[in-house]
């Protein structure tokens, strides 16, 4: 048998360029800049203003960490500056040589622009240094002296998906599949996590639930708001647990229910504060693009019953036992999590028997079950290839724990971290670094200095900026 040739692995920058080239004609007009590039370029040109004193000759130097972003951004800036009356010449030399090259070629100005994504936000940021390049008659005895002081101009624009793709940096050689670092802390045991937009402003954040409170934390892990959960009527449970989902739930975007609680509640984040917005009869297990999962806690326990549905009204009851047979104990679930952007595998459900079911958006099996996955679990497409990875704790009990990243198709881990203090008990996926690609956040619970539980939030990200 003739051996198959190895399939080459293309760098993300080249993949980005190929992806844009494959866009259908109606998606991007020939020669048109992407929306974010055009908006940022126009804003920077406005900040620069028209040519003063008739000095129109301008050398443009563009520096980006992501190589695929440089050429389209340079074209957008060249067009925007030309509309302001400048005669633009791209300075395609190393940044350290750009000023000397501008002087040698008789330019009036050098505009040196640095561009990249704003950490934690889906925004493109441009910072330009406007340097005078003409020779001053009064400074002839000082070769290289600038005629006037340089100044800075800045601009930002919301990044569309294509710009996010172009601006995503390659991970440094040897950096590994992803990075793991501490993001923030909650002074209690976190039972459930969600990542999304808890408020109306479109700002992504983390929502964490303990046995007594709901917390909202920024994408960087800083506390934004907290509120005590309604005590209400609760039945005792063996271990505390909570179900949490973000989405539209009638008046608010945060839906939470504690195990043993008679009802769930809906919270709204308004003006930096959490406010009550309604009650729920169902148990919101998780939610993401195109999928919302409801379930039910097992009576007197912190686990969920293995009965999931897209509509709480359609949750099925346990099948009746055969005549003369003792009723079978229903299967229970430790954790259910959803991939932020759906896909063939949209939901993962881990049973107390150790079996991880991989489900599609219709909650039907979408892939073969897996084993050896811990209960601190999230689905997240860390590498942006369209298929979510499993980000999970060790399957065995006890501390210290480890973070592992696994493919839903099985196989060896893509990443295995060093020891993590405490036990990883919850997780969620979503873009927290602002590069347009999923990250994951995990909750590791350990005893604090006073013996009370403290949760450390861990960020798991393949964003190249996290590897620096």
What pLDDT is recorded for position 250?
85
What pLDDT is recorded for position 21?
42
Which regions in the chain score pLDDT beneath 70?
A: 1-33, 136-145, 316-328, 399
What pLDDT is recorded for position 13?
44
**Alpha-carbon gap, residue 219 to 202, rounded angstroms:** 12
Fold of 179-314+331-467: Methylamine Dehydrogenase; Chain H (2.130.10)
Eight-class DSSP state of 419:
-
What pLDDT is recorded for position 170?
80
Q: What percent of the chain has pLDDT over 90?
A: 69
Q: With 0-12 CB in 10 A as exposed, 13-18 as middle and 19+ as buried, what is 347?
A: buried
Question: Over the stretch 298-316, which tens digit does the pLDDT of each residue have?
Answer: 999 999 999 999 988 888 6
How many other CB atoms sit within 10 Å of the CB of residue 201?
A: 9
What pLDDT is recorded for position 319?
52
Do 66 and 116 meet the contact criterion of CB atoms below 8 Å apart?
Answer: yes
Non-local CB neighbours of 68 within 8 Å, separated by 6+ positions:
13, 14, 16, 17, 166, 167
Q: Tokens standing for 147?
A: 């005629």
Nearest to 108 by CA among 168, 46, 39, 56: 56
CA dist 315 → 278, 292, 312, 426 (Å): 21, 13, 6, 24
**Run of H or E residues at 43:** helix 35-48
**Alpha-carbon gap, residue 35 to 82, rounded angstroms:** 18
Non-local CB neighbours of 461 within 8 Å, separated by 6+ positions:
178, 179, 382, 432, 433, 439, 440
In the chain, what are the domain boundaries?
33-167, 179-314+331-467
CATH classification code of 33-167? 3.40.120
**Run of H or E residues at 368:** strand 365-370
What is the b/e burial string over 229-257, where b = at least 16 CB atoms within 10 angstroms of the residue's CB? bbeeeeeebeeebbbbbbbebeebbbbbb
What pLDDT is recorded for position 22?
43
The whole-model pTM stands at 0.79
CA dist 4 → 7, 10, 381, 411 (Å): 9, 18, 28, 21
**189 CB-side CA count, 13 A:** 15
């Amino acid at each position: 048998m003739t051996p198959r040739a190895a399939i080459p692995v293309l760098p993300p920058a080249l993949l980005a360029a190929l992806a844009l080239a494959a866009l259908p004609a109606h998606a991007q007009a020939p020669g048109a800049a992407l929306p974010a590039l055009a908006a940022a370029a126009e804003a920077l040109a406005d900040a620069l203003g028209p040519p003063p004193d008739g000095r129109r000759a301008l050398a443009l130097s563009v520096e980006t960490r992501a190589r695929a972003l440089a050429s389209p951004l340079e074209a957008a800036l060249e067009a925007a500056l030309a509309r302001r009356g400048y005669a633009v010449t791209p300075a395609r030399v190393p940044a350290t040589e750009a000023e000397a090259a501008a002087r040698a070629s008789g330019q009036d100005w050098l505009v040196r622009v640095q561009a990249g994504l704003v950490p934690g936000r889906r925004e493109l940021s441009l910072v330009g240094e406007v340097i005078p390049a003409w020779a001053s008659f009064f400074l002839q005895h000082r070769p290289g002296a600038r005629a006037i002081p340089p100044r800075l101009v800045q601009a930002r624009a919301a990044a569309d998906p294509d710009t996010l793709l172009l601006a995503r940096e390659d991970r440094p050689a040897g950096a590994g599949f992803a990075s793991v670092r501490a993001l923030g802390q909650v002074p209690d045991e976190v039972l459930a996590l969600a990542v999304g937009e808890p408020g109306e402003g479109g700002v992504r954040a983390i929502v964490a639930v303990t046995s007594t409170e709901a917390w909202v934390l920024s994408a960087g892990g800083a506390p934004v708001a907290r509120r005590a959960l309604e005590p209400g009527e609760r039945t005792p449970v063996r271990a505390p647990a909570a179900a949490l989902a973000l989405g539209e739930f009638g008046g608010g975007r945060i839906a939470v229910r504690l195990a043993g609680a008679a009802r769930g509640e809906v919270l709204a984040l308004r003006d930096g504060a959490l406010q009550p917005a309604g009650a729920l009869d169902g148990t919101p297990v998780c939610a993401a693009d195109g999928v919302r999962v409801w379930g039910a806690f097992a009576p007197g326990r912190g686990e969920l019953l293995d009965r999931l549905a897209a509509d709480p009204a359609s949750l099925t009851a346990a099948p009746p036992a055969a005549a003369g047979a003792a009723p079978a104990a229903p299967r229970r679930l430790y954790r259910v999590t959803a991939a932020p952007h759906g896909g063939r595998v949209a939901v993962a459900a881990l049973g107390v028997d150790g079996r991880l079911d991989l489900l599609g958006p219709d909650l039907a099996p979408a892939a073969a079950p897996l084993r050896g996955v811990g209960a601190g679990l999230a689905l997240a497409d860390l590498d942006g290839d369209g298929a979510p990875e499993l980000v999970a704790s060790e399957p065995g009990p006890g501390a210290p724990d480890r973070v592992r990243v696994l493919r839903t198709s099985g196989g060896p881990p893509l990443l295995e971290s060093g020891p993590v203090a405490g036990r990883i008990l919850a997780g969620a996926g979503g873009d927290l670094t602002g590069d347009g690609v999923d990250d994951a956040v995990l909750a590791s619970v350990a005893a604090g200095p006073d013996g009370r539980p403290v949760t450390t939030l861990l960020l798991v990200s393949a964003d190249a900026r996290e590897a620096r």
